[in-house]
């Protein structure tokens, strides 16, 4: 003879087993979809990143609506030695030399660095002469930084 408490225990155990099985199925589906979507997303992102050239940097600066694109392009050229430096921030996809606590920031690709520049610019630049802004904000430690930027012919 089965008493009511035994039936309740059996029912609770069955419900727990059912819930655990369903959770396992949901988690498995979520992980498999996430892995597949994540892999395809990464492939798509890599396919969209253009080569690091002056023309491409200028195009992305314009697409991202960075203000003073010619000056900002000169900054990237100065920071990376015309995109040819080997021992600089460029190895971290950081074409503007951004750093925090004496360490270069690291980006997944140079386009992400341009997007970071746009956010930085929107946060810090309000109005006025952009060269003066760069000098006043202390963008570079080189006292000739502004003169060097102006000397670059695009």
Residue 126 sits in a domain whose CATH number is 1.10.530.10
Nearest-angstrom CA–CA distance, 40 and 38: 6
Q: Are residues 13 and 87 in the same domain?
A: no
Structure confidence at residue 10 (pLDDT): 59
Its domain, for residue 137, covers: 54-151
Are 135 and 150 a contacting pair, CB within 8 Å? no
Are 123 and 141 a contacting pair, CB within 8 Å? no
Q: Are residues 106 and 40 in the same domain?
A: no
Q: Are residues 108 and 139 in the same domain?
A: yes
Give the sign of the dihedral formed by CA 103, CA 106, CA 112, CA 113. Answer: positive
Per-residue pLDDT of the chain (154 residues; tens, 9 = 90+): 555 555 555 565 665 666 656 545 444 444 444 434 444 334 334 558 999 999 999 999 999 999 999 999 999 999 999 999 988 898 999 999 999 999 999 999 999 999 999 999 999 999 999 999 999 998 888 899 999 999 999 8
> Token match 């930027």: residue?
149
Structure confidence at residue 6 (pLDDT): 56
Q: Are residues 113 and 71 in the same domain?
A: yes
What pTM did the predictor assign?
0.69
Q: Are residues 89 and 115 in the same domain?
A: yes
Q: Are residues 1 and 71 in the same domain?
A: no
Q: Are residues 31 and 81 in the same domain?
A: no
Q: Are residues 70 and 34 in the same domain?
A: no
Q: Are residues 39 and 101 in the same domain?
A: no
Q: Are residues 66 and 128 in the same domain?
A: yes
Structure tokens given for 49:
């990143």
Q: Are residues 139 and 110 in the same domain?
A: yes
Nearest-angstrom CA–CA distance, 152 and 154: 6
Q: Are residues 105 and 144 in the same domain?
A: yes
Residue among 88, 94, 80 nearest 152 (CA): 80
Greatest alpha-carbon span in the chain: 97
Query: Domain total for the chain?
Result: 2
Structure confidence at residue 82 (pLDDT): 96
């Amino acid at each position: 003879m089965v008493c009511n408490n035994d039936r309740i225990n059996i029912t609770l155990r069955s419900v727990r087993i059912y819930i655990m099985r369903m959770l396992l199925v949901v988690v498995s589906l979520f992980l498999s979809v996430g892995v597949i979507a994540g892999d395809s997303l990464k492939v798509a992102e890599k396919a969209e990143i253009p080569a690091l050239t002056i023309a491409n940097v200028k195009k992305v600066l314009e697409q991202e609506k960075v203000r003073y694109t010619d000056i900002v392009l000169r900054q990237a050229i100065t920071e990376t030695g015309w995109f040819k430096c080997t021992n600089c921030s460029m190895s971290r996809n950081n074409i503007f030399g951004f750093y925090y606590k004496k360490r270069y920031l690291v980006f997944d690709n140079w386009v992400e660095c341009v997007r970071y520049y746009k956010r930085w610019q929107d946060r810090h630049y309000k109005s006025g002469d952009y060269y003066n802004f760069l000098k006043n904000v202390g963008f570079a430690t080189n006292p000739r930084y502004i003169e060097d930027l102006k000397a670059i012919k695009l």
